Amino acid sequence: MNNKTKDLEKVALGVAVMFGLFWLYSIVARPHLPFSEGVNGVVGLAVLYGLGLGLFVLITKNVSKHSYTNREKGKVSIKTVFLCFLLQCTAFMVLNILTIATSIFGGTSSSTETMPMTSSMLFMLLVFNPVVEEFVFRHLFATRLLKYGERLYILASAYCFAVLHGVSVGFVHIIYTFILGLIWAYLTVKSNSVVLAILMHAISNLFNSVIIQLLFDTSMMALAAYSVLIMALGVIGLILFVKNRKKVIIDDASGLIDKQTAKDLFSNKGILLYTALTIIVMALKGIIK
């Protein structure tokens, strides 16, 4: 077993333990705690980003760390950033299509769009989640996996980020967050920093969650018009991406994903374990409901 396989297994195992501990708390312990929802939520965050993140660091302690920020400072053009924004709209368009298709066949999809947009929720969506999630899935993954190639890092980061959303907000969000994860990992690689990914994450939450919920609470007509606008921008983003896809250079070659990288990822025992865990938890949540 080579170092790349071992390190990827440890990173995937670390994430599995980190979120597995949080899911265990959410399913088994939280319903029986005699606290308010707010306190239970804070305890959950402490379990996830305190104890869970600590275990992730412990499990990956023997993975050699490399600071990707030591490379020559990357420059990301305004044109690239704008295209990434449009592709975030494309992700939203895909989510809408999948949600409609799911509803046709009798399925349901939960989302932050149906949650009350309180001040604490705004803070979580626009500040806390972008900073902490990008720190874990873009920064920590980069320091441990980027040495094995930009493609492996981008795909592993996006996949691990996406799969866990199947547990938290439903199956159709896996594809949605996978697209977003690809965008943010790509920006991290090209900018040699996680800052731009954090900003784009916050912008995505603003446009695709906060504004939608606010419009939902005030005017359904405005919500419909806004949704059509975002989906139109998504179509434009998709067209521009297809037209310029060969200009996407990763590991000194065009294209975002290749067969060998996909094989390395999806044949990895750690990734398979992480995937199996999320499927089991999704099934358990479905049974409990």
Q: What is the pLDDT of residues 75-122, one digit of tens each?
A: 899 999 999 999 999 999 999 999 888 888 766 555 544 567 788 889
Residue 6 has pLDDT above 90, yes or no: yes
More confident residue, 74 or 248: 248
C-beta of residue 49 within 8 angstroms of C-beta of residue 169? no
The pLDDT value given to residue 114: 56
Residue 61 has pLDDT above 90, yes or no: yes
The pLDDT value given to residue 113: 45
More confident residue, 147 or 116: 147
More confident residue, 219 or 242: 242
pLDDT band at 289 (very low <50, low <70, confident <90, very high): low
- Range with lowest mean pLDDT among 11-20, 106-115, 151-160: 106-115
Mean pLDDT of 13-41: 92
Beta bridge partners of 249: 254
Dihedral pair phi/psi, residue 76, rounded to 5°: -110, 120
The pLDDT value given to residue 71: 62
The pLDDT value given to residue 110: 52
Residue 181 has pLDDT above 90, yes or no: yes
